[in-house]
Chains A and B, each alone.
Chain A
Amino acid sequence: MNTPEVHINAVRLAKSVKLTEGSLTILHDISLTINRGETVAIVGASGSGKSTLLSLLAGLDVPSSGEVHLAGQALHRLSEDERAAIRAEHVGFVFQSFLLLPSLTAIENITLPAELAGVKDARERALTLLKQVGLSERADFYPAQLSGGEQQRVAIARAFITRPAVLFADEPSANLDAVTGQKIEDLLFRLNAEQGTTLVLVTHNDELARRCQRQCRMQAGRFIDTTTQDLADVG
């Protein structure tokens, strides 16, 4: 099923969570194939299940039913630690709310995944990335001393340090002003182009979505056909 072209393959994914009374299904019957080097945007209203889907594709969580394959591995059959090993090797992450470690400096936050994966030249790579995101001056700042946009840029640098084959970004520019947001997006696409990374990004921003090769629209935990609906209708 996995050709070398196919990088991520999700088959009939469903996710439900237990509540105090009964359970709630937040993803229904999602199937998706993403090729190597492809850029895909996932769009949809707030609460439609975008972040949840992303967490399944990245192996942060396992689906209630269905299958997820990433880089030839069946994520849904692996344990938490086995998935962690795959993330360390193949996956980069930019979270909706930055999620930097507050007790580490900018450069330490960036080197962290590389150190976990046992990369030798972590510091050199981090310095290069810091330069690329324009934060060379801020290397030894703690997250609390950085602005929201600066933190997001650190998070992006962190995502790229292991040279991941696939990058997941959850609304990378949502918390930023238009200009900064634009810069961050440019950075993402530039790094994607330079390193040939597969990019899956969640966004509310149509313009950003259009920069991707493909758009998937979600509503109430399902994909809806993107061809029948104009992107501009949704905000």
Chain B
Amino acid sequence: MWASIAWRLFWRELRRGELWVIAFALFLAVGSVVSLSGITEGVKSALLQRSAQFNAADKVLRSSQPFDEQLFELAEQQHQLSTARQMQFDSMLFSGDAMQLATIKAVSSSYPLRGDLVLYRSELVTAGETAVLTPGQVFFEARLFDLLGVKVGDEVELGLAKLQVGGVIVNEPDAPLSVFGGSPRVIMHLDDVPATDIVQPGSRIGYRYLFAGDTTALAQFEAEANDKLSVHQRWQKMDRESAIGGALERAERFLLLAGLLGIVLAACAAAVAASRYSQRHTRAVAIVKALGATTAQIRLIYGSHLLLVVLFSLVCGLVAGQLAIGAVQWGINLYMADYRAEFSIRPLWLGALTCVICALLFAARPMWRLANTAAIEVLKQPAAQFVVDKLQWLTGAAAIWALMWLFSGELVLSIGLFLLCAGFAALLIATAAVIVRLVKPAAAGQASAPKLAIANLRRRLWANSFQLITFSLAIFLALLLYFLRAELIGQWQRQIPEGAPNQFLVNINQQQRTVLNNFAREQQLQLDQYYPVVRGRLLSINDEQLQQEATKEDRSQQRVGVGRELNLTWLTALPKNNHILQGNWFTEGATAQVSVEEEIAERLEVKLGDSLAFSIGGQQVSAVVSSIRKVDWNSLQPNFYMILSPDLLADFPATYITAFYLPAERNQLLNQLARLLPTVSVISVDNIIAQVNDIIDQVTVALSFILLIICLAAALVLVAQVQATLEQREQELAILRTLGARYALLRNALLLEFALLGAMAGGFATLLAELMLLLVQQRVFELPFTPHYSLWWMGPALGIGMVTLLGWWQLRRLLSIPGAQLMRRVLQG
């Protein structure tokens, strides 16, 4: 029987606002959780897939020892992964009298597992028919044709083997980015390696195991393989190579937490609406109970209302969230044609869980209390305002913390954040209390709009400081997000400004500089500065000899070295994106000094004042460490571990690195350049820049989306709050109207009340936002303090505008109801 009563009441109640507010709040919570976590997952997997392309595989194992067949068997047979093999070593190539040191990469037929290997049967990367790597052939980096003086079809010698030149390497997915000044690259088939007889005990060869496949299978395989790995084998870090991996990670956490606060706001709106719903129904419950309904029956009735609302919101939220995810995946597909969208169940259950937590801990409690109403309440005047009981505060707080934990996945972080929020709330309540005390009660005399407004504020602020907290929090979040968004995007764009160099030229000699300068002038290209590069080996630190091969066995006997040749440069000015951590940059006329990058200094255990000896072109050069530098490796510019003072290297023959910006539509210029300067390598970072820009776009969209959610949630809180006072306002208006107050007076009082409330909330929000922004600026972005002047008018303006508009929108109907009708409605109860 209760079901039909519940159903009927439910439909009638839909016409009043509260159920919709609850439904919309829950919908907002579910929808935003699903879409946010789905979108960040999508972007993450797109990035992972990108970086898989840059690595030619999903997972790469590096080793200095020959291939372990067991691992391939394990991967292929037990985990259904595809595999490829790769060996890399430096060796001399001979053609007639010419010879050239090259970096040889020998790959199996299945290479690459991700991304594309593009080879042309041609000497030029710009034109030619596509070729496939077959045993017996080698493919060259473009500049090697000139260096060796060979053409396609010629024979070259590598070790003991004779191989035919098959063509040019156009795209090598996992080509190293840090090839500044490296040897020219060669790709050959793995099957030809034995014939070269190059693999001897002691020769330095890098072995790579490439794996690709299903994410879960990969994870299982990695876990199982980890037990079998020797000291010579280690996994290659996959995302470190992505230029802004760290920034994205920070952004993701920020997005989720910002989104979470939006959800908390929405949940507050649900709580207010549920309280209001319960308060308005207290009378009805008392009546129905007086007529003989039991508590259990009431619980069923109102429980079913909540359940219907929850189900409705849940379904709508899941669908809307999934749609948003679909839209984003579609967007990713636009710029990444081979993006494999993966359906993930995680966002869905995360959304459902959020919905249940919000409904149970925010909205269920008032409804539960409602059912406990005693029948005798029918004889009493109903309370005009809902009272939030202690347990409600407690469950609400618990829910907020639970959500924080759920989203951050970190206990300590969630507790910290929760305490921070609680602190904010306490601060706001205290301030509100002080303000209410300070505002003097209106003196007796003629009724005026400000007097009425302040009287109203005084009463309601006290009854409901919760209202002020949520408004302030909402405006604070909106402001914070708006400004942080600008700051985040600005920071990223500073890293890659419009027109930043996207083509790097490496291996330029002194004579070629003039040719290049002329070329640049003719074509109106803006060349970056020339960085001189001299290759050298670090021999000793403070006269202590370094081991030259980084093998783990004899680490104890000898100090660890770098293990390879270094690119050394000399500069008079500290490069951009470099910061001195210790010591000082070279002064004018400094002699025999070196500035060392922080990470390598730590690895080599080098301190200020240590003396480093380098071997350069057979000569020995010593320098004293005069500074330790921090280098932003994410910046797209040549970076150096060691920068020497100009006096040391100026006499050595150097090659140069420079860079320029070339718009995509002028790409054919690169051919001219290749013909003009055949031995110079051109390294394009276009795809890295494209990737970074994509991510910036995505994050910008996500941030705007969250901003929207927060604004919606804030508006919802306001709507719920105003609804909660509707009845009381009706009563007051009826009385004032009957006592002869004019429409204009009532309207002005109402507008003023909301404007004051909005100004107060906006003011608090501005203060908090400025504090937070300064903190973030200093801690996260490492920027100097700069006050945000526009914030100081935007905050209060936003507060006044939002609160007044929404308040007016809801209450104007009340004002326009004729006095008699209003009176009647009030008497109805």
Residues on A facing B (Cβ under 8 Å)? 51-52, 55, 58, 60-61, 80-81, 83-89, 91, 93, 95, 97, 99-104, 108, 112-113, 115-118, 143-144, 158, 162
Report the separation of the CA atoms of residues A162 and B284 in the bound assembly, to the nearest whole angstrom. Answer: 19
Q: How far is the CA of A27 from the CA of B284 in the complex (A)?
A: 27
Give the residues in chain A near B284, CB-CB below 8 Å.
Answer: 101-103
* With known contacts A93-B290, A101-B287, A118-B1, A81–B828 Cβ distance under 8 A: no
Query: CB < 8 Å: which of B9, B293, B379, B829 contacts A116?
Result: B293
Q: In the complex, A103 Cα to B11 Cα: how many Å?
A: 9
Is the beta-carbon distance between A115 and B378 smaller than 8 angstroms? Answer: no
Q: State whether B828 touches A88 (Cβ < 8 A).
A: no
- B contact residues around A115 at 8 Å (CB): 1-2, 4-5
Q: How far is the CA of A61 from the CA of B291 in the complex (A)?
A: 13
What chain A residues lie within 8 Å of B8 (beta carbons)? 104, 108
- List A contacts of B824 (CB < 8 A): 144
With a cutoff of 8 Å between Cβ atoms, the chain B residues found around residue A83 in the complex are 375
Interface contacts (Cβ under 8 Å), in number, total: 90
Instruction: Contacts A55-B379, A116-B297 given; indicate if A104 touches B12 (C-beta within 8 A).
Output: yes
Bound complex: CA A102 to CA B375 (Å):
17
Query: Is residue B825 within 8 Å, beta carbon to beta carbon, of the partner chain?
Result: yes
The 4 nearest A-B residue pairs measured at CB: A88-B292, A103-B12, A87-B292, A61-B376
Interface residues in B282-303 by Cβ distance below 8 A to A read 283-284, 287-297
CB of B13 closer than 8 Å to a CB of A: yes
A102 touches B293 (CB 8 A): no
B101 at the interface (CB under 8 A from A): no
Q: Which residue of B lies closest to A90 (CB)?
A: B292
Docked CA distance A60–B375 (Å): 6
- How many Å from the CB of A229 to the closest CB on chain B? 27
* Docked pose: A144 CA to B827 CA in angstroms: 10
Asked if B562 is an interface residue, CB under 8 A from chain A, the answer is no
Closest approach, in angstroms, between the C-beta of A224 and any C-beta of chain B? 23
| Cα–Cα, bound, A100→B379 (Å) | 13
8 CB contacts below 8 A, A to B, read A61-B374, A91-B292, A93-B291, A102-B284, A103-B284, A112-B288, A115-B2, A116-B288
Kindly name the residue among A91, A116, A158 whose own CB sees the greatest number of chain B CB atoms within 10 A. A116
Tell me the complex Cα distance, A112–B13, Å.
16
Complex contact B292–A60 (CB within 8 A): no
What's the Cα separation between A55 and B292 when bound, in Å? Answer: 13
CB closest chain-B residue, reference A56: B376
Residues of B within 8 A of A104 (CB): 8-9, 12
CA A162 to CA B293, docked complex, whole Å: 13
**What count of chain B residues pass the 8 Å CB interface test?**
31
Closest chain B residue to A51, Cβ basis:
B379
Residues of A within 8 A of B287 (CB): 99-101
Main secondary structure of the interface of A (DSSP, over half): helix
Chain A residues within 8 Å of B295, by CB: 80-81, 84
In the complex, which residues of chain B have a beta carbon less than 8 angstroms from the beta carbon of A102? 284, 828-829
The answer to whether B291 touches A60 (Cβ under 8 A) is no
* Chain B neighbourhood of A87, CB < 8 A: 290-292, 375
B828 touches A116 (CB 8 A): no
A88 & B293 in contact (Cβ 8 Å cutoff): yes
Q: How far apart sit A103 and B8, CA to CA, in the bound complex (Å)?
A: 9
CA distance A58 to B284 in the complex (A): 18
Q: Which of B1-29 contact A (CB under 8 A)?
A: 1-2, 4-5, 8-9, 12-13, 16
- Which residue on B lies nearest to A142, using beta carbons? B12
A149 to B296, CA, bound (A): 33
CB-nearest residue of chain A to B13: A103
Known interface pairs A84-B293, A100-B287; 16 further A-B residue pairs with C-beta atoms within 8 A, sorted by A's residue number: A60-B376, A80-B295, A81-B295, A83-B375, A84-B292, A87-B291, A89-B292, A95-B378, A101-B288, A102-B829, A103-B9, A104-B8, A104-B9, A115-B2, A116-B5, A144-B825
Chain A: which residue is nearest B293 at the CB level? A116
